[in-house]
Structure 1
Amino acid sequence: MSITATEIVLPGAVEPEGLVTAHRELPDPRRGQALIRVEATGVSFAEQQMRRGKYYDQPAFPFVPGYDLVGTVAAVGSAEDSALVGRRVAALTKTGGWASHVVLEAADLIEVPAELAPDAAETFVVNGITAWQMLHRGAKVRAGQTILVHGANGGVGSTLVQLALAAGVRVIGTASARNADQVSALGATPVDYRGDVVAQVRALAPDGVDAVFDHVGGPGIVDSFSLLAPGGTLMAYGTASTKDDAGNSRLPVLRLFARLMLWNVLPNKRNAHFYNIWAGQRRATAFRRRLAQDLTAVFALAVKGDLHAQIAARFPLTQAAQALSLAESRTVTGKVVLVPAQ
């Protein structure tokens, strides 16, 4: 079957309006592959870094961004995968998701419950896997503990808040003053990140917090580590504070790695880790199994009603520039979703 896909191409380090809409005929899926009709894809912080050429291991320009997607299997490359046809699935892609159709490995597809709409399910893919793994595989949070979530109104942050609350954990969340009400509505105690964060958090948790989730990096990571209670865990998962800095995009990440490693060898009774969703990818079978287990657990909480999709806005795929600009404005709660025309 011949399918012409609509794709959004990132041609170089450009402003959002520099994105290009292109059309490309896709090859038929080979054995072990599936053709997906994309129903929703999202704008994550990764794309915001990629358009600046600042994502740690992004491909060379030009390429199609899109870290994750939800869609329906339209065709498969072999009879052994025929049961997938017509099923709604999710996939973690890193790049390539901003398209009307994609060809992916069938083994990378994770079934989406029928109770979840495509745009709602999309908000839980990279955000849900990231939040679940940091909470339960990294920090190993327990009921009754207290955590600090930076950027609690963002895509990952709002998911972290909800998953933590579902686990019986108290949450303090940083955000701007204008987003404080949204953070409160999620169930967290808001803290203004433009103020003295350390003083505000210590007033709420005098003995320190059990975990901090920090996507900001930069000098503020020292404050995050200082707020940990004995035995606490810092989960760093980004360097947002340096996204506009000139120079080598890898240096901020390498500096952060070095600082975390140093903290771990010092006798401070606290832990520091850098979270990478792609860690362990070389062991493909175990990696895929872990992703499927964790995203399925997140989907189950959403179906149960313990986790609610935080959709900041929906845009047609061809309005990716406007969607990216809104996501970068830091004025919204949740995730900006792109919906290809069907």
Structure 2
Amino acid sequence: MKGISYSRYGGPEVLEYGELRDPKVGPDQVLVKVRAAAVNPVDWKCREGHLDALLDAVFPVIPGWDVSGVVVRPGVSVTEFGAGDEVIGYVREDFLSRGTFAEYVAAPVRTLARKPRNLSFEEAAGLPLAGLTAYQVLVKALDVQRGETVLVHAAAGGVGSLAVQIAAHLGARVIGTAGTSNHDYVRALGGEPVAYGEGLAERVRGLAPDGVDAVFDTVGGDTLKVSANLLAPEGRLASIADPEVLGHGGRYAFVRPDAEDLRHLSQLAERGVVTVHVQETFPLERAADAQRLSQEGHTRGKLVVTPAREDEEGDVWAGNDEGALYTTSQEGTF
């Protein structure tokens, strides 16, 4: 199969497009034909070695944790999915090696849910990691309640845009920081936009004089320090960007795969509660360009990479089980 990989830590130049070893499908995995894979900041952070203290890298590493696609075949113990099922997944294992920036991925069942029927494959690929991050921080770390005021930083970004929608669905009033060009977008998501940068504290206090009940920090640094001073007396603070949040009495959060949470997000998408905005789609061979753009930090919504589509009838997988062939019809699937 074709895909993207890197054999050492470094900048975007270490990413190579070419032939990769076909994935083996374990008993608790399903083989997924990748239709789209979203780009996340953690991808370039892993590529540069920033997560080396947490995750072993088994080179060559295929990047990518988000996927939407079609099940080609399930592992021998899998009953949840069958060939032809459309799925989404936050396919993170406890090491770096077998990612989603490829034509196929062997995904553990615990990382998957059925794809929302009303989203395109590109939109659906942007839901798992960012959506799970937003959901788990708001519901589990911050315990946001109806009637509370929540401050979401980088509210137009991948995680922030979903956090605004989920917090509003929970019944909270949402204030979201964003560049002025994205203020209308934040309003459309259900938030009240404020400009980030110098004077942020005064602008937020103008909207919430008594402080905010919860802050969802996606930026860290000075933004985190300002946020700690904007809390109401019983306010809560969580960050996915800066462990210094612990020194402010807050929670440092790292998203985890959770099939039940992902199923809930898929249902919210089907109900129209959450939408995913795709800023740009790149062919898989241009994944380095997608990561460069992600690293600039000014994306509205999500960036997505897509493998080439087959033109022939059907899709044939030459698997690892004694050369057996597995065929899935193209009709209504690919």
TM-score calculated relative to the size of structure 1: 0.82
* 2:104 pairs with 1:104: no
Note the C-alpha offset of 1:83: 4.9
Q: Could you say what secondary structure the match of 2:72 adopts?
A: strand
* 2:295 pairs with 1:328: yes
Q: Deviations over 1:284-328 (max 9, x none)?
A: xxxx6xx22222221112111121111111111111012112222
Note the C-alpha offset of 1:77: 3.2
Higher helix share: 1
Which residue identity does 2:201 align to in structure 1? V
1:274 to 252, 256, 259: 252
Question: 2:183: which partner in 1?
Answer: 180
CA-atom RMSD in angstroms: 2.1
Are the aligned partners of 1:81 and 1:106 in contact in 2 as well (CA < 8 Å)?
Answer: no
Q: Could you say what secondary structure the match of 1:26 adopts?
A: coil
Change (3 A) 1:180 1:115: closer
2:260 to 293, 306, 310: 293
Note the C-alpha offset of 1:136: 1.2
State the distance in 2 between where 1:183 and 1:216 align.
Answer: 17
Are the aligned partners of 2:135 and 2:163 in contact in 1 as well (CA < 8 Å)?
Answer: yes
Are the aligned partners of 1:166 and 1:306 in contact in 2 as well (CA < 8 Å)?
Answer: yes
Percent of aligned pairs with the same amino acid: 36
Question: 1:242: which partner in 2?
Answer: none
Are the aligned partners of 1:176 and 1:194 in contact in 2 as well (CA < 8 Å)?
Answer: no
Question: 2:30: which partner in 1?
Answer: 34
Which residue identity does 1:323 align to in structure 2? A
Q: Deviations over 1:116-151 (max 9, x none)?
A: 322121111011111111111111112221111111
Q: Across the two proteins, how many residue pairs are aligned to each other?
A: 302
Q: Which runs of 5 or more structure 1 residues have no equivalent in the other structure?
A: 240-252, 265-271, 279-287
Question: 1:85: which partner in 2?
Answer: 83
Note the C-alpha offset of 1:171: 1.2
Which residue identity does 1:171 align to in structure 2? V
Q: Deviations over 1:203-260 (max 9, x none)?
A: 1100000110112222432211111112111011113xxxxxxxxxxxxx4xx2xx51
State the distance in 2 between where 1:45 and 1:105 align.
Answer: 22
Question: 1:64: which partner in 2?
Answer: 62
* 2:94 pairs with 1:75: no
* 2:117 pairs with 1:121: no
State the distance in 2 between where 1:156 and 1:17 align.
Answer: 26
2:282 to 315, 329, 340: 315
Q: Deviations over 1:159-185 (max 9, x none)?
A: 001111122211111122333332233
State the distance in 2 between where 1:131 and 1:77 align.
Answer: 30
Q: Which runs of 5 or more structure 2 residues have no equivalent in the other structure?
A: 310-334
Change (3 A) 1:121 1:28: same
State the distance in 2 between where 1:113 and 1:185 align.
Answer: 21
Note the C-alpha offset of 1:53: 2.0
Note the C-alpha offset of 1:27: 4.5
Are the aligned partners of 1:99 and 1:317 in contact in 2 as well (CA < 8 Å)?
Answer: yes
State the distance in 1 between where 2:170 and 2:77 align.
Answer: 41
1:133 to 128, 131, 136: 136
Note the C-alpha offset of 1:336: 0.2
Q: Could you say what secondary structure the match of 1:183 adopts?
A: helix
> Greater shift after overlay, 307-316 or 104-113?
104-113
Which residue identity does 1:276 align to in structure 2? F
